[in-house]
């Protein structure tokens, strides 16, 4: 489903890509860790707020927010382990 693909991209592909780029740029461990941690964060709560304000699908945005936050409980610590 679209929701799981979004979560895969948001919680795994983007952080791993950010880690690879920061490693290629020769950044130190603290910088790489910061970049990895920030890029691995789940969907922001403002996405649901903005969806409601501008006539988007508030219910779907809320579900996406919930699922990405729950999955981040597993993905963020797992990504930090690879650092």
The residue-averaged pLDDT of 57-70 equals 95
Mean pLDDT (the chain, rounded): 95
Q: Around Cβ 41, how many Cβ atoms within 10 Å?
A: 16
Distance CA(43)–CA(61), nearest Å, equals 9
Share of the chain above pLDDT 70, in %: 100
Distance CA(50)–CA(34), nearest Å, equals 27
User: Is the per-residue pLDDT at 65 higher than 90?
Assistant: yes
Residue 83: the pLDDT is 82
0.75 cut: is pTM over it? yes
């Amino acid at each position: 489903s679209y929701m799981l693909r979004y979560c895969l991209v948001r919680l795994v592909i983007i952080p791993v890509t950010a880690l690879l780029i920061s490693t290629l740029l020769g950044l130190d461990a603290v910088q790489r860790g910061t970049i990895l941690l920030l890029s691995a964060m789940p969907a922001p709560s403002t996405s649901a707020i903005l969806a409601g304000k501008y006539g988007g699908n508030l219910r779907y945005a809320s579900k996406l927010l919930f699922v990405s936050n729950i999955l981040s409980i597993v993905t963020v610590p797992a990504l930090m382990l690879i650092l």
